Amino acid sequence: MPSSQTPPAGSTALDPTAVRPAIDDARIIRTTPQAVRDELLALKRDGYAMLSDIGGVDYLEREPRFDVVYHLLKFALNGAQAARVRVLCGVPGADPVVPTVSDVWPSADWAEREIYDLFGVSFSGHPDLRRIQLPVEWEGHPLRKDYPLRGPARDRTPRPSFALKSNVAAGTPASGKTAAALQRQIAAARGQTLPPDPAPHAAEKAQAGNTPGAVATAGAATPQELGAEPNAARGRQLPKDGSK
Amino acid sequence: MSVDSPIPAAAPGPPPSMSMDVVERDHNRMVLSIGPQHPSTHGVLQVLTEIDGEVITRAEPEIGYLHTGIEKSAENLFWTQASTVIERMDYLSPLSNALCYILGVEKLLGVTDLVPERAQQVRVLLCELSRIASHCVWLGTGGIDLGALSGFFYAFDLRERILDLNELSGGARMHPNYLRIGGLRDDLPAGFLDRLDALIAMYKPRMNELRNLLQSNPILQDRMIDVGIISADDAIAWGLTGPCLRASGVAYDVRKTFPYSGYENYDFDVVTRTEGDAYARFLVRLDEMDQSMRIIEQVRKNLVGGPIMADDTKFTPPPKETIAVSMEALIHHFKYVSESFRVPPGDVYSAVEGPRGELGYYIVSNGDNRPWRVRTRPPSMYNLQILKQIAVGELIADMVVMIGSLDPVFGEVDR
């Protein structure tokens, strides 16, 4: 069941990459699982020595549903200009299989395993295709768009009864318990009694009234304006004669 | 033994799944699991090794113990909120992650040129500081792996001062969340530059002490030289970047090759070595810290004044002081916080040079107020993968040296 935080699938543009603005960050090649291996090998012969990354994207409603994205890098060697190329391989959702390139670039090993783990796209010919991030017994592929944000396992996790929302007494404030209320609660649990909670600032006013400099602590005037000691208004114990 | 003997029968051993999976003997060969709870794996890495005597014959790193689904979380957050979780990936240099993501979003928005000069300079300054801080962790913990405990305190003291600067500018030591799409959250606070000057002044003598302690230490040299050698061809084939690649003789640095945030204006060298062993990676990182300090000094000298945020409230929050006096600003602020902004559809690959190598984000927008996909290119993951090749033929005791020299961060490897 999709979480409330999952954006509704209806709001998706079917293929955002097709309407992309002109961003000059890489050359972009689109291809299919049948042709991707030849395409990548041709690029490697062309000088793109490093397979920098393989990523996956799930477009859910588009056909082909997935994109497996290969980022290749050419170094500035032998007078060549450094360059990037991005190969977008559209993979159908019904049969998500792509030929592996882990024999060409060993760096593809873990990247392909991760896409298999998180998207459920498998790579034919991969020597060791098993889950890499999630445990073996995990069900589903979390980065697919139809996988709920919090995961199905969360709903099944047993919780103690006091932690269930339905067991919290009605009228309990969500938060904002004062320290005094907490102390009374603790005292009650220990069988002690505490004096009732005084009105806010009552103690301060009583204390301030005893000190000579702060007689007029009322309204919005600050103690400094009234010439009082800064401590007086906070109710600290001062000598009776008001001296420091 | 009689039937009524008081001595109970031997307790059954642990079930086979607990013991036999991990260690099994076959003549001289033995399968040994290192980690995931092992202090020298720098996090939660498990390496299943097959050893023949003391020599490693096979090694397979197992990752995923720290998988937190950050990429999935980012898809479900606003464009502005996503950078908060993205900072948690490489927790030793959160600013590099944030910068890389933010540069990508700015490219998608087409507002890269609107970012003010001062914001770009401060971004560079903080990213280079966090590179030094990150290398300090590697240097300190890497020394501990080899028994050099005292270097740790010198390195972490230096890092503490950088974290203090982080706290001063962003309000938090580890994850300041200070960079914003369009600029910075706030200007640098009063007193920041004085503290920075103090750091610049103490850096050189501190690095001299560290180099005296560690670089010329014969025990460390014995442990690191000719251990875990990576050739240049292997480094490229396995997708290594950063200091691991440059220690094998390939001078590739994103800051030089594909400059961003004004790195083309600074004068610094790309440090390379050709040996490709653990000691070469050690020296490359040490020299890189000095180069970072060079950049920091240049930024400090040339720091300009002016705004720190792009002047366009379509993707930045309006200045706080205008909210009380301008109706439009109030509306913009409300919209910005409650439903963020929309980013034109498209995809972009943005890369920066993080402390561990090329950190990349492949970001897809479908025109909504949340990213459709944020794929990280984690440099540590690719750097760590080569362990299964370089460990073969090395001694089991050198495993910690090799892991330390690759400098993985598992928040980023597992995400």
**Tens digits of per-residue pLDDT, B161-209?**
999 999 998 888 888 889 989 889 888 898 899 999 999 999 999 898 8
Interchain pair B362, A69: CB under 8 A: yes
Q: Which CATH class is domain A23-151?
A: alpha beta
- C-beta separation of A121 from A91 below 8 A: yes
Q: How far apart are CA A230 and CA A237, in angstroms?
A: 12
CB within 8 A of B135, min separation 6: which ones? B285, B286, B288, B289, B355
Structural tokens at position B330: 């109030």
pTM (2 decimals)? Answer: 0.79
Predicted pLDDT of residue A230:
43
Using the beta-carbon criterion (under 8 Å), do B372 and A12 form an inter-chain contact? yes
pLDDT, average across residues A32-54:
91
Interface test with A, best of B66, B230, B231, B236 (most A CBs within 10 A): B236
HSE (side-chain half, CA atoms, 13 Å) at B224: 27
What does pLDDT average to over chain A?
71
Contact A11/B at CB under 8 A: yes
Instruction: Kindly list the residues from chain B whose CB atom is less than 8 angstroms away from the CB atom of residue A26.
Output: 349
Which chain B residues are closer than 8 Å to A52 by Cβ?
Answer: 239, 241, 358, 360, 377
Query: H or E stretch including B49?
Result: strand B46-52
Q: pLDDT, tens digit, for every residue of B365-402?
A: 888 888 999 999 999 999 999 998 999 888 888 888 89
Give B340 or A157, the one with higher predicted confidence.
B340
Interface contact flag, A131 B64, Cβ < 8 Å: yes
Q: How confident is the model over A153-179, as a mean pLDDT?
A: 57
Query: Please, which residues have CB within 8 angstroms of residue A115's CB and are 6 or more apart in sequence?
Result: A54, A55, A56, A68, A121, A123
Mean pLDDT value of segment A17-37: 78
User: Which among B57, B55, B63, B59 has a CA at the least distance from the CA of B36?
Assistant: B63
Which residues of chain B lie closer than 8 angstroms to A12, CB-CB? 366, 368, 372
Contacts 24+ apart (CB under 8 A), B279-284: B279/B221, B279/B224, B279/B225, B279/B226, B279/B227, B280/B247, B280/B248, B281/B243, B281/B244, B281/B247, B281/B405, B281/B406, B281/B407, B282/B142, B282/B215, B282/B224, B282/B405, B283/B215, B283/B247, B284/B243, B284/B246, B284/B247
Q: Which of A97-101, A192-196, B217-221 has the lowest mean pLDDT?
A: A192-196
pLDDT band at A20 (very low <50, low <70, confident <90, very high): low
Min CA distance, B221 vs chain A (Å)? 29
Cβ-defined contact of A76 to B347 (cutoff 8 Å) = no
Q: Find the distance separating the first CA and the last CA of chain B, reported in whole Å.
A: 58
Q: Burial code of A228-243, b = ≥16 C-beta within 10 A, e = fewer?
A: bbeebbebeebeeeee
Residues of B in contact with A19 (CB under 8 A): 345-346
B90 pLDDT exceeds 90? no
Picking from A5, A19, A82, the nearest residue to B345 by CB comes out as A19
CA distances from A38 to A28, A70, A99 (A): 16, 13, 10
Give B389's contacts in chain A (Cβ within 8 Å). 106
Q: Residue holding tokens 């029968």?
A: B9
How does pLDDT run across B257-298, given as a tens digit for each residue?
899 988 999 999 999 999 889 999 999 999 999 999 999 999
- pLDDT surpasses 60 at A28: yes
| Strand boundaries in chain A, DSSP class E | 27-31, 50-58, 66-74, 83-91, 97-99, 122-124
Mean pLDDT for the stretch of residues B129-142: 91
Q: Where are the domains of chain A?
A: 23-151, 178-209
Sign of CA dihedral A213, A219, A223, A226: negative
Contacts within 8 Å (CB) and 24+ apart, B303-308: B303/B118, B303/B121, B303/B122, B303/B125, B303/B193, B304/B117, B304/B118, B304/B121, B305/B118, B306/B116, B306/B117, B306/B118, B307/B116, B307/B118, B307/B119, B307/B183, B308/B116, B308/B118, B308/B119, B308/B122, B308/B183, B308/B184, B308/B186, B308/B187
CB B96 within 8 A of CB B378: no
Mean per-residue pLDDT for B3-22?
41
| Chain A interface disruption, residue of B109, B373, B415, most A CBs within 10 A | B373
B185 Cα to chain A: minimum distance (Å)? 26
Question: Which class for A49: exposed (0-12), middle (13-18), buried (19 or more C-beta within 10 A)?
Answer: middle
Of A22-36, A125-139, A174-188, B63-77, where does mean pLDDT reach its minimum?
A174-188
Degrees to nearest 5, angle at CA B109 with B105 and B115 = 80
Nearest CA to A116 among A101, A138, A135, A97? A97
The whole-number average pLDDT for the span B44-66 is 87
Report the C-alpha gap between B53 and B51 in whole angstroms: 6
What is the C-alpha to C-alpha distance for residues B165 and B199, in angstroms, rounded to an integer? 9
Using CA atoms, how far residue B191 sits from B11, B15, B188, in Å, is: 67, 61, 9
DSSP string, A197-222: PPPTTHHHHHHHHHSGGGTT--TT--
Question: In this predicted structure, what is the pLDDT of residue B20?
Answer: 38
Read off the pLDDT of each residue in B15-29 and give the average, rounded to a whole number.
49
Q: What is the β-pairing status of strands B46-52 and A83-91?
A: unpaired
Chain B residues with CB inside 8 Å of A3's CB?
76
Note whether B72 contacts A142, CB cutoff 8 Å. yes
**B340 has pLDDT over 90:** no
Residue B289's Cα: distance from chain center in Å?
Answer: 14
Dihedral sign of CA atoms B146, B147, B149, B151 in order: negative
Per the CB < 8 Å rule, is A55 touching B258? no
Nearest to B346 among A20, A82, A143 (CB): A20
pLDDT of residue B144: 86
- Inter-chain contacts counted by CB atoms under 8 A, chains A and B: 123
Check CB contact under 8 Å for A53 and B258: no
Residues 47-76 in A contacting B (C-alpha not used; CB under 8 Å):
49-53, 55-58, 69, 71, 75-76
| ipTM greater than 0.90 | no
Cβ <8 Å between A25 and B382: no
CA B392 to chain centroid: 26
* Interacting residues of B409 by C-beta distance below 8 A, sequence separation 6+: B42, B43, B90, B91, B92, B356, B380
Contact residues, chain A, for B345 at CB < 8 Å: 13, 16, 19-20
Contact between chains at A12 and B238 (C-beta distance less than 8 A): no
A226 in contact with B at a CB cutoff of 8 Å?
A: no
Structural domains for chain B: 81-386 (1.10.645.10)
**pLDDT reported for residue A37:** 92
* Per-position DSSP letters for B69-82, written without gaps between them: -HHHHHHTS-HHHH
Strand partners, B367: none
Q: Of B63, B372, B414, which is closest to A16 when you measure between CB atoms?
A: B372
Contacts B379 to A, Cβ<8 Å: none
Q: Give the per-residue pLDDT at A113.
A: 92
Is the model more confident about A111 or about A177?
Answer: A111
Pick the residue from chain B with its C-alpha nearest to A106: B238
**Encoding tokens for residue B216?**
């010329």
Residue that wins the pLDDT comparison between B196 and A201: B196
Which helix (H) or strand (E) segment is B126 a member of? helix B117-145
Q: Would you state the structure tokens that stand for residue B29, as one six-digit string? A: 């060969």
Looking at A115-119, A161-165, B139-143, B396-400, which range is the least confident one? A161-165
Residue A137, chain B, CB below 8 Å: the answer is no
Q: What is the pLDDT of residue B10?
A: 41
As a whole number of angstroms, the distance between CA B81 and CA B348 comes to 19
Closest-CA distance, B371 to chain A, in angstroms, reads: 10
Non-local CB neighbours of A38 within 8 Å, separated by 6+ positions: none
What is the token pair recorded at A239?
Answer: 């000598």
Q: Note whether A52 contacts B358, CB cutoff 8 Å.
A: yes
User: To which residue do tokens 């020296």 refer?
Assistant: B283
CA angle B5, B7, B13 (to 5 degrees): 135
What's the pLDDT at A108? 92
Q: Worst-scoring range by mean pLDDT, A87-96, A195-204, B71-80, B297-306? A: A195-204
- Confidence grade of residue A166 (pLDDT, cut at 50, 70, 90): low
* Residue B345 C-alpha, separation from nearest chain A C-alpha, in angstroms: 5
Which residues, 6+ apart, have CB-to-CB distance to B226 below 8 Å? Answer: B277, B279
Residues in chain B closer than 8 A to A109 (CB atoms): 385
Contact B236 A50 (CB under 8 A): yes
- DSSP letter assigned to residue B319: P
List chain A residues with CB under 8 Å of B346.
16-17, 19-21, 23
Beta-strand ranges (E) seen in A20-141 are 27-31, 50-58, 66-74, 83-91, 97-99, 122-124
Distance CA A214, CA A226 (A): 7
